Amino acid sequence: MKSLIAFFPLSLALACLVQSHAIPIPGGNGGGEAPSGQVGIHKWTNKDGQTINAKFVKGDAETVTIFTNDRDFTVKLSDLSPESQALARKLSAPPTSDVNSPPQVTIPGGIERDYGAGKLTEAQEEIVLALAKKQGVAKVARISTIHFFPSAARGIRVDGAKETNGREVSYKVLSVNFKPWFHPGGGPRKGDAQMGDFWAGKPYEKKQTILRVGETDYLCGSIRDIEIKECEAMLSLFLAGKFTYSPNPRINDKLLGQVDWDKPSRFSKRGNAISVGFPHKGGPGSGFFDLQVEFVDGKLNIKQMFQAIP
């Protein structure tokens, strides 16, 4: 039985929190990067006020499992502060859903749908699919409904099937408008194809690059003037929480916990300046983060962090 004492200096230890209760999970991660589902760094405090930063993995009524220093650990809730107990219960709770935010499902034909901004009926789906085919998206992989923040308008996004060529993944994206959801008084533009209350212009092609960390592939929207291997090395550190920063109002645990590390949107380099983008883990319409970083001798430091909110 091991405790976090083996992995942390006493000044940072949460060993007093876990003592002999911190038990590596049999068959869990013995090292390497954090599992892809573990996004968001949280502050965990014990009853004595000692704190560490770690990623939430899972929890139940009695314990919480966290990931730090390349290991999974199970901690008894009774050893945590009231605030950390509440955090563990919140993160352990199953996601709620309602009519305005239904779960993603797969429908016949292998098409995924995400109707977070409004549900389409089967008849409406058929029109959207016919419109997509007419506009050049022969094989549809995903249909989603989206908000046009900050307005009250909504729309529909159709993603075509992905094609892979080496590290490059490409697919067509079609934006479809629906009259009852569109801006008041708005309508099709010249050249748009229309079917009933639905219309769309031409699709555009979206390209992404595959980044590999361990045995997991991550899709990145844009890579400019920087080697893929360097991007992968940085992404590995982001996923594992192995980076440094100087806490301030623009860079802190709360903001870092809102970053969806699984979905890098871009890496770019200009001279020695490196910029990295990630979305907010709240999903589409929740904004994104721009990080200015240093990557020297395998060490990653966040110098600046900017948040874009719709």
Structure-token match 């920087």, residue found? 226
| pLDDT recorded at residue 35 | 40
Q: Which residues of 282-304 are buried (b: 16+ CB within 10 A; e: fewer)?
A: eebebebbebebebeeeebebee
| pLDDT recorded at residue 194 | 97
Over the chain (310 residues), the average pLDDT of each successive run of 10 is 36 39 39 42 86 84 82 84 82 54 54 91 95 95 89 94 94 97 94 96 96 94 95 96 92 92 96 94 84 96 90
| pLDDT recorded at residue 4 | 42
User: Using omega within 30 degrees of 0 as the cis cutoff, is the peptide bond preceding 108 cis?
Assistant: no
Assess contact for 206 and 173: CB atoms under 8 A.
yes
DSSP notation for 185-216: T--PPTT-EEETTEEE---EEEEEEEEEETTE
What's the chain's Rg over C-alpha atoms? 22
| pLDDT recorded at residue 109 | 63
| pLDDT recorded at residue 250 | 87
| pLDDT recorded at residue 40 | 67
| pLDDT recorded at residue 182 | 95
Question: Could you give the 3-state DSSP secondary structure of residue 180?
Answer: helix
The token pair at 52 is 């560490």
The token pair at 7 is 């992995």
Helix (H) or strand (E) holding 244: strand 244-245
* Distance set, CA 207 to CA 69, 110, 195, 210, 220 (Å): 34, 22, 28, 10, 9
* Distance set, CA 66 to CA 44, 76, 85, 287 (Å): 9, 11, 13, 27
Query: How far is 63 from 296, CA to CA, in rounded Å?
Result: 38
DSSP state of 134: H
| pLDDT recorded at residue 37 | 39
Q: Which domains does the chain have, with CATH numbers?
A: 4-92 (no CATH), 105-202 (no CATH), 211-308 (3.30.2310)
E strands, 133-203, are: 140-147, 154-160, 163-165, 168-178, 193-195, 198-200
